[in-house]
Amino acid sequence: MNRPGVRVAEVEVHRDGAARVRGDFLADEVPVALVVDGVSQGVMLATPADLDDFALGFALTEGWIERPAELYGTELVTAPDGIELHLQLASARVWALRERRRLLAGRTGCGLCGVESLAQVQRVLQPVPAVAVALPALARAQRELATQQPLNALTGAVHAAAWCGLDGAVRLVREDVGRHNALDKLVGAMARTGAAPQDGFIAITSRASFEMVQKAAAAGVGVLAAVSAPTARAVRSAQALGLVLAGFVRGDDAVVYSGAERVLASVPLPG
């Protein structure tokens, strides 16, 4: 199979007391270096698909740029040990990035590896739009998301993040071995398509960590719905930012950890 993010391997399957050899699909993960002005700003292990979206989303959620237009272009360079994404940023943003000297030595699932000081962990972000959402919409989003993960359907090894309308309809999905990477790819895709943050919410197939809340808020999204639990720091951050945070969104159930006053019992009618 020639599909970005998927490799084929020969495996031995043991089932019901018998063994057989067959081909299997594996999720790919490669080191991806984010390079600005000739300097590597960090290396993340990521699935090599939708990397243009990843570059834009990462630059936005990490505060490297404030607007999509400040990323002039992305050049993908294949290196012996992985992939380099060369980001062409506006000159003012390059200067600011040099000053901040935020170096990330990333691993799959690690959103804060390599920050240089404790002060860099808690970023100053603006409160998010006050978006109301209905429980049935959260449930619909997770149901639809479960059917729109082609990489995970093949490999069973990747996370997904989805941009959903306030009715719960899934509009965009991005996948990656790292949950933070999947969210960054989604934010990049949202920016490219002109999605208005106040017109929907984000659903994720992982726990809601502090960094996931920060990235959602950096994108201006007011609701984050996770299939698993949040962390205590994620809840405190969501409360401070005015973000609706729901966890354990499974079937028709959910646990609301922040912004419960904006979670409705039913989907409001249009207009």
Please enumerate in sequence order all residues whose Cβ is within 8 A of that of 188, keeping only pairs 6 or more positions apart, or say none.
50, 52, 53, 54, 55, 56, 57, 58, 60, 174
How far, in Å, CA of 64 to CA of 43, rounded?
15
Q: Which of 94, 103, 110, 264 is catalytic?
A: 110
| Cβ atoms of residues 235 and 145 within 8 Å | no
Measuring CA to CA, which residue among 221, 218, 205 is closest to residue 159? 205
Could you confirm whether 110 is annotated as catalytic? yes
| Cβ atoms of residues 81 and 31 within 8 Å | yes
What does the DSSP assignment read for 60-118?
A: HHTTS-SSGGGEEEEEEEEETTEEEEEEEE-HHHHHHHHHH---EE-BTTBSSTT-SSG
Residue that has been written with the tokens 């000739």 in this structure: 38
Report angle CA 58, 133, 262 to the nearest 5 degrees: 105
Residues labelled catalytic: 110
